[in-house]
Amino acid sequence: MFPAAFGIVRVLALALCLAGLGVFTSPAAERPNMVLILLDDVGYSDYGCFGSEIQTPNIDRLAREGLRFTQFYNNAICLPTRAALLTGLDPRYAGTNKQIQLTPEMLTIGELFSSAGYQTVLSGKWHLGAAAPHRPIDRGFGEFFGMLDGCSNHLDPSIADPPFEGGRRRVWARNAERVTKFPADFYSSDAIADHAIENIRRCAAAGQPFLAHVCFTAAHSPLHAKPADIAKYRGKYAAGWDEIRRLRRERQLAAGIIDPRWNVAPREPEVQPWASEPLRDWNETLMAVYAAMVDSIDQNIGRILRSLEESGAAKNTVVFVLNDNGGCAEQAGGDDATNIAGPKECYVSCGAGWAYAQNTPFRRYKGWVHEGGIATPLVAWWPGVIKAGGMTRQVGHVVDLLPTCAEIAGAKVPAERAGQRLLPLEGHSLLPVLREPAAVLPERGPICWKAFENRAVRQGRWKLVKDQNAARWELYDIEMDRTETRDLAAEQPQRVQELTAIWDQWAERTGAAEQPKSIYTLKRVPASLPPIKIALIGDSTVASYPKPPADRPTLTGWGQVFGLYFHESVEIRNHAASGRSSKSFWAEGRWEPVLAEKPDYVFIQFGHNDQPGKGDRTTDPDRDFQDNLRKYIDGARAIGCVPVLLTPVARRTFEGGAAARTTLTPYAEAMQRVAKERRVALVDLHARSFDLYNQRGDEATADFSPSADDRTHFSRRGALEIARLVATDLPQAVPALRHSLRQPWQVPTK
């Protein structure tokens, strides 16, 4: 789908940069390959071999032929888990905002293995920086394809997030190049596996050992899956989350995964009984699509395993499979039955009810540090070394993966790099347990967590945990009560005090104590919206035509249909008039009535009639056009109104299949300069519409025009399309309006 292009020059440069590490390695012929597979927002009980009804035969095969860790931990959220896995260190909170970063004193697994003579590949989600020097190719991975961001549309990543998620366009890349266009049959899990498989085959053929880090972006929201996969799970979840959780727990007990002494945890406060759920059909579909996403990941893991076998690498390869956090309880857009799981046009999550089932038998979810947020299944497979069908209760954490892999590869982690002291590893090698599941390792030190305002520390069998919604610490004996149902804090205040001190010291050491306060919210749509008045000023492309001429019955300005993109709390007042420029609109006294209405926002789009050849309406983009814009901005701000500039929409871009062109660029650039100078929000409608015409060519010109003789105005279809471009960019340009916008699937297309 996306053929790999192995950059030999770049890889040689990377090798030279890492040559100073002085890493000792065992002979190449003896060193096994490593495949680290990470799933996104998948729950503890979502693999078949951990109690699920979802079909995961390939993960189950790895478990059957390998080893299951039942007491392995992640860091509750995507980013800190990835940082810890890559470095063998607890996350560090750095910079002015105290955000998690890979800092120079950290050595990544990619850098370590590259310096040890391994070929290194990362396929999928990165989430640790989108610009140099924070990209995978800057941090030791010789080949990368995937998402530099945290999540995206699985079927078409070029589609922006909906307003309730902020309207961002997510960043995908191949090595240093951004990827902005995707094939019609694109699906994230398939594309990530395609890249991994192609590079596994290439690496195997090269005769050097390799490290392949495969990071699926599924089953992170939005819930998108292929129809054939969804069909397998239609009707499977009609019993609801209470029954699914009960059945999963029974299977876990039967398999020996959980201890029968642990109490059944009560239903979470955000979850109502399935029998009381008013949107059961909608919720059933959510879980069916989620299951299809997990199923698809497993199918692609099967493809990766076949590529190992077909290339002859399987017998000398170690495979790990795990999750980055617990199942996710978010329903950012609220319980909206119009937001259907499956198609690319929609953006929906599973919500708390299904996350409660996904994290069976534990409490809470992603973002929390009760066991449901931080417990991950871990499956390890290593033919000829790991005994088949094993299970261990050895406590492990994602920081242990780098030291484990390093010991397997015979790679010594250096103390410094190019004169820079490196932080010593905080993880521990689990190689003895891989060789013998019954092995008893020395008791490790405490493990600490922070996710938003949720925090925890585990030392031995004791765990202290605080929920962001609670005012006090809770204490649990995890050996006897891993479902966290019997709080012993009141009975053991001294232990609470000791563990609190351990957590405080850890938070100071890592910078977590300085992180700004942040509360995790599951729903981001407000319960009520304030009334907002938006005024539009501009020319014929914006204007309304309540009585269009007979020869152009579909004549419509985008401002005429703009209100369709907003909730009822927003009133659109369209003052735009055909034939007006920034100069004539002011000269005719049209601005004062706009101000008299005291709008909250005024959207300003001029340029078409400011061009040369428009008589006394013409303005110079470098002089009076900018002066006019400043007058509108100052006038709006004087009454407490927020001005928003929109560069002029492109028109007549194509003529008979000729190359794309536009005469409005000087005016668009002038608006950009004024917006920057006056710190005004700007929607670059010129660039967005130009790209649209460029993609669709003559077809767009014909579809968007009111008649064959009029290529300068819009039909209703064209106006809707242009209004959509404005609405799509608004959440980023004017974040305060994002909740006032309807979601894309709620807006009529005709």
Whether the predicted pLDDT of 660 surpasses 70: no
Neighbours of 529 (CB within 10 A): 14
Rounded average pLDDT over 435-441: 93
As a whole-number percent, the residues of the chain with pLDDT over 90 amount to: 87
Distances from the Cα of 189 to the Cαs of 155, 186, 227, 297, in angstroms?
A: 10, 9, 14, 6
Please tell me the predicted confidence (pLDDT) of residue 9.
Answer: 38
pLDDT band at 606; cut points 50, 70, 90: very high
Rounded average pLDDT over 158-187: 95
Please tell me the predicted confidence (pLDDT) of residue 652.
Answer: 56
Check residues 153 and 443 and name the one with the higher pLDDT. Answer: 153
Tokens 């968007």 identify what position? 704
Tell me: cis bond preceding 612? Omega within 30 of 0 counts.
no
Distance (Å, rounded) from C-alpha 363 to C-alpha 366?
Answer: 10
Which range has the worst mean pLDDT, 446-455, 525-534, 618-627? 525-534
pLDDT band at 699; cut points 50, 70, 90: confident
Q: Which domains does the chain have, with CATH numbers?
A: 8-432+443-451 (3.40.720.10), 454-514 (3.30.1120.10), 532-746 (3.40.50.1110)
> Which pair of structure tokens corresponds to residue 291?
């299951």
Please tell me the predicted confidence (pLDDT) of residue 712.
Answer: 81
Distance (Å, rounded) from C-alpha 642 to C-alpha 648?
Answer: 19
Backbone angles phi, psi at 699, to 5 degrees: -60, -45
Please tell me the predicted confidence (pLDDT) of residue 527.
Answer: 82
Give me the helices (H) in 271-396, please: 280-310, 352-358, 371-374
Whether the predicted pLDDT of 323 surpasses 50: yes
Residue burial 64-89, b: 16+ Cβ < 10 Å; e: rest: ebbbbbbbbbbbbbbbbbbbbbbbbb
Residue 356, Cβ density class (10 Å: 0-12 exposed, 13-18 middle, ≥19 buried): buried
Please tell me the predicted confidence (pLDDT) of residue 342.
Answer: 96
pLDDT band at 661; cut points 50, 70, 90: low
| Three-state DSSP class for residue 38 | strand
Q: What mean pLDDT, rounded, does the chain reach?
A: 93
Check residues 694 and 478 and name the one with the higher pLDDT. Answer: 478
Please tell me the predicted confidence (pLDDT) of residue 524.
Answer: 85
Whether the predicted pLDDT of 217 surpasses 60: yes
Rounded average pLDDT over 486-498: 98
| Three-state DSSP class for residue 518 | coil
Neighbours of 648 (CB within 10 A): 26
Neighbours of 331 (CB within 10 A): 25
Q: Tell me: the pLDDT tens digits for 358-389?
A: 999 999 999 999 999 999 999 999 999 999 99
According to DSSP, the β-strands at 119-125 and 681-683 are: unpaired
- Name the DSSP letter for residue 326: S
Cβ proximity of 326 and 355 under 8 Å: yes
The closest alpha carbon to 464, from 445, 444, 446, 441, belongs to 446
Rounded average pLDDT over 313-335: 96
Please tell me the predicted confidence (pLDDT) of residue 473.
Answer: 98
pLDDT band at 684; cut points 50, 70, 90: very high
Q: Tell me: the pLDDT tens digits for 28-71?
A: 448 999 999 999 999 999 999 999 999 999 999 999 999 999 99
Residues 6+ apart with CB under 8 A from 422: 105, 106, 107, 413, 414, 415, 416
Cβ proximity of 297 and 219 under 8 Å: yes
Which range has the worst mean pLDDT, 222-236, 415-429, 529-543, 707-721? 707-721
pTM of the model: 0.90
Distance (Å, rounded) from C-alpha 541 to C-alpha 588?
Answer: 19
Whether the predicted pLDDT of 568 surpasses 50: yes
**Where are the strands (E) in 544-594, listed by range?**
570-574
Cβ proximity of 237 and 284 under 8 Å: yes
Distance (Å, rounded) from C-alpha 532 to C-alpha 526?
Answer: 15
Q: Tell me: the pLDDT tens digits for 11-33?
A: 444 444 444 444 444 444 489 99
Residue 48, Cβ density class (10 Å: 0-12 exposed, 13-18 middle, ≥19 buried): buried
Residue 242 CA neighbour count, 13 Å, CB half: 10
Please tell me the predicted confidence (pLDDT) of residue 651.
Answer: 66
Whether the predicted pLDDT of 95 surpasses 90: no
Residue burial 137-152, b: 16+ Cβ < 10 Å; e: rest: bbbbbbbbbbbbbbbb
Check residues 667 and 706 and name the one with the higher pLDDT. Answer: 667
